[in-house]
Structure 1
Amino acid sequence: MSTHRESPGHSERPDSPATRSTCAARDGRSAADLLPTPAPAPALPAVVGTIAPDEAGEPGASLTPHIDAHGFDPAEYKWIPVRRRPRKDGWSEARQRLFIEALADSGCVQTAATAVQMSVQSAYGLRRAPGGEAFAAAWTAALQQGALKLADFAFERALMGTQEPVFDRAGIAIGCKTRYSERLMMFLLRAHLPERYAHAHRANRLPSFPPMRPILHPPRRSQRPSPGSNRRCRPSRTR
């Protein structure tokens, strides 16, 4: 009985290409059939601004996972959209979510309603509808996020100024000039740096002194002439 031993330098691993080719030739298959199947590519995220169908997810899940520029995410709230009859031009759950997201971005109800192709009156009606408490709470939170954009605009206007046209005597525009608002600058400084500029408007005032009491002089007595003072001095006659 002979025993065949392979040298360590010629041993082949079970998962080596040579082993796969030998097994494939023995079974009548090609070596490509034995290659591992690549993992499927991850799905791309949903694009913000597209209206997804209502049955795409659970009622509490956000159809648009992206967060807006101010960090607002409607999924942070207990989102319970107002139940409506399914209509093509109605307030679907997806439209309600997109309205809140647009309201947080712009801070304007008109802009948010236009973004979802609905009227402002219907948006306020949906907010007052029975069961619309969660929608109203998300509305209020979105307006608070929109106020941050207003603060950014105020900073930009204070730093960059506003352009005003310049006209000649004939009323023809000949150019423009940049005007800065000192009141707006001081308002922002007092609001964001109160420890330094809260009382800056009092620095140029004169020091305040306690009110002075009026000095009362005693009334002067009227000096009446003596009985003999009104007599004229007549020259004495010399005899």
Structure 2
Amino acid sequence: MQNRLRDFFAELFFRRELSYWTRWARNAESMRLSKLRKLKKRGSQLRARIDKLNHTAEQRLRMPRIGSDAIHSRLYSDWAWRPALWKLPLVPAGKAPLHNKDSIGSEATIFHDSSRSEIAVRQVRNRQSTDLAPFGIQLDVFAFEGSFLSLVVDLPVEAVEGLKQNHLICLDTIVELERPIVITARLNVMHGPNTEQIVRELPLYDSEVMVEFDLSYTDLNEKRVERMWVDLIFEEPEFNRIELRDLTFSRRPRTQI
């Protein structure tokens, strides 16, 4: 009740102030200079605050909402997921240098064998109206003397609950590169003492990328599935900026022919 009353009086006050400024603007040509000077000062103060409010509102309303789970999942998907790195603020937002096995948040880890660890990571806010992910991850790689650099993302337990050999695992991402490189995605599914692996090269001819991993070509033991993770492997990454503006996973049963 108090909130409604407060909102009512706030709206009443706004309408009254708006009518005053409308009348003053209409009478500005004939107004006394002393009063006009005073109103001009007040108007400048109001305008500075209104401009700041409008700028912040435009930015926030255009950005994806923090924590958003909006995902372009495939038809008939029975599970879809975006890692927290791409939807929730990372604290701290960046880290440098990145050493081998350094964690980025709770679900991702960097692996590399470079003796010179000139690698930095930073979470950036997505600002394009077409973005669904609130955040992106930016890797800056400078001198790199190793043979591999990979970002490993651990998938949650829900990804393997009810997992069948006829499932397709779909990876969707939006990639921006300072210079072209090859990025390979490797799906790993642990079942008992064994791990099935499927490797796909990301088709980077477009910024929005999708690859599918078909489990029907594996020897998956459905009764012993324990966990699943994906390696994103960056070939010859030196002196490059790699930005993953989104990363999502989903799964769906394979169409029977």
TM-score range, shorter chain: under 0.3
Structure with higher RCO (Cα < 8 A, 6+ apart) = 2
TM-score by length of structure 2 reads: 0.23
Q: Greater strand share, 1 or 2?
A: 2
Structure (1 or 2) with the larger CA radius of gyration: 1
TM-score by length of structure 1 reads: 0.24
